[in-house]
Amino acid sequence: MEIQIKEIFSRTELREFAKFPLRLYQNNPYFVPPLVAEEINNLDTSKNPAFKHAKARYFLAYKNGQIVGRIAAIINNIEVNQLQDKKIRFGHFDVIDDIEVSKALFAKVAEIGKENGLTYMEGPMGATNLEFAGMLTYGFDRIATAIGPYNYEYYPQHMEALGFEKQKEWVENFMTAPETISDKIFDFAKLVAERYKLNVIHFKNSSELQPYIKPVFDLLEESYKDLETFVPITEEQKAFYAKKYSTILNPDFITFIEDEHKNLIAFAITMPSFAKALQKAKGRFFPFGWYHLLKAQKKNDTVEFVLIGVHPSYQRKGVTAIIFKEMYETFRKHNIKFLETNPELEDNQSVQMLWKDYNPILHKRRKTFKKAI
């Protein structure tokens, strides 16, 4: 039966695009569905400010009248024009185990790339580097996180069969929170704070957190700008993601460090795991999804590590000891037993070293794949 690739335009079609993974992974114990309404808003090119500097086209694959796959073809204009990286991104790739469907979807991405004078495609990734990136290649028997999406084992098999090659690789670790830590860490954290006149900021509620959202993104850029994968973040994008995450972050799980002039010089953000709550919500905030998410935020034995940033002038000066101490005290206060990192670039050794005292177990890997067009 012929495979049909159809571009979507309407809000109704966008909903079908967003809901396809829920059917594909129905009853899969490791898949964590996003909230469909939020997913639609992220995909909506008229609402997500990422699309002021990027273009996206969405496609569904049909076979026997049924949806059997989806893909997004994305061009980040900052990346292409400012950084001169002639790449078309692909993302939101989901497909049944039929390599012909995958082949047809990627042919459409390649077609759009050629039309725009681009030379290769890479993905899966979103419109910006603040969105998900990478396809799961190891750890198919582990539950996904709220940020790191799940995919079947045949996905990377399709990529390799179609001539794609590895571009970047991320790792994810699973750890048991220590019941005690050495007094040396407390002493060293105190010494570093006194030496550089640093202060840890604690928040009582989300409203106190708001003035620091923009400085966090500014520091994130400063911390990661030398990475090969870095693409600048616009002010509109910072505001969009700030609004998106400020409603779900628990201030207790956030560590901010400022210098004597009240400049933010480091941060670490963790959050209670929403994975099992999102599974129970089944993609819907109403009627009961909100309850499961609220419960997970207040009572949980597992946290997810979201982001860390240290200003370049304070890197390798022991600031991470302060972060480690603060995290330990927070985890003890909330009876946290387990910590899971979200995707971190394998070659980002400064972040990998942060977990050495937690006895990390590398339990997931994911890659982006690249192919000339």
Q: Give the 3-state secondary structure of 47-70.
A: CCHHHHCEEEEEEEEEECCEEEEE
Residue 213 to residue 238: CA distance in whole angstroms: 8
Q: Say if residue 96 is in the same domain as residue 55.
A: yes
Supply the pLDDT for residue 229: 59
Q: Say if residue 127 is in the same domain as residue 191.
A: no
Q: Is residue 373 domain-resident?
A: no
Q: Say if residue 64 is in the same domain as residue 142.
A: yes
Distances (CA, A) of 75 to 57, 78, 164, 290: 9, 9, 19, 34
Q: Say if residue 179 is in the same domain as residue 167.
A: no
Q: Say if residue 117 is in the same domain as residue 204.
A: no
Q: Is residue 327 domain-resident?
A: yes
Q: Is residue 371 domain-resident?
A: no
Q: Which of 116, 145, 171 is the last residue of a domain?
A: 171
Q: Is residue 372 domain-resident?
A: no
Question: Which positions ≥6 away from 93 have C-beta within 8 Å?
Answer: 69, 70, 71, 72, 105, 123, 124, 135, 155
Q: Is residue 31 domain-resident?
A: yes
How many domains is the chain partitioned into structurally?
A: 2
* Angle, in degrees to the nearest 10, between helices 154-161 and 99-115: 60
> Around Cβ 9, how many Cβ atoms within 10 Å?
10
Residue 14 to residue 174: CA distance in whole angstroms: 34
Q: Which of 171, 206, 235 is the last residue of a domain?
A: 171
Q: Say if residue 207 is in the same domain as residue 298.
A: yes
Q: Say if residue 73 is in the same domain as residue 97.
A: yes
Q: Say if residue 324 is in the same domain as residue 180.
A: yes
pLDDT tens-digit series, residues 312-370: 899 889 998 999 899 999 999 999 999 999 888 887 777 777 777 778 999 999 999 99
Tell me the residue range of the domain where 164 lies: 4-171
Query: What's the 3-state SS for 100-148?
Result: HHHHHHHHHHHHHHHHCCCCEEEECECCCCCCCECEEEECCCCCCCCCC
Supply the pLDDT for residue 373: 96
Q: Say if residue 266 is in the same domain as residue 287.
A: yes
What are the pLDDT tens digits along the chain (373 aa)? 699 999 999 999 999 999 999 999 999 999 999 999 999 999 998 888 889 889 999 999 999 999 999 999 999 999 999 889 999 999 999 999 999 999 999 999 999 999 999 999 999 999 987 788 999 999 999 999 988 899 999 999 999 999 999 999 999 999 998 888 888 889 999 999 999 999 999 888 877 887 887 788 888 877 766 665 567 777 777 777 777 766 677 888 999 999 999 999 999 999 999 999 999 999 998 888 888 998 988 889 999 998 888 898 998 899 989 998 999 999 999 999 999 998 888 877 777 777 777 789 999 999 999 999 9
Q: Say if residue 128 is in the same domain as residue 231.
A: no
Q: Say if residue 159 is in the same domain as residue 194.
A: no
CATH code where residue 76 lies: 3.40.630.30
For the purposes of burial, counting CB atoms within 10 Å of the CB of 366, is it exposed (0-12), middle (13-18) or buried (19 or more)? buried
Supply the pLDDT for residue 222: 77
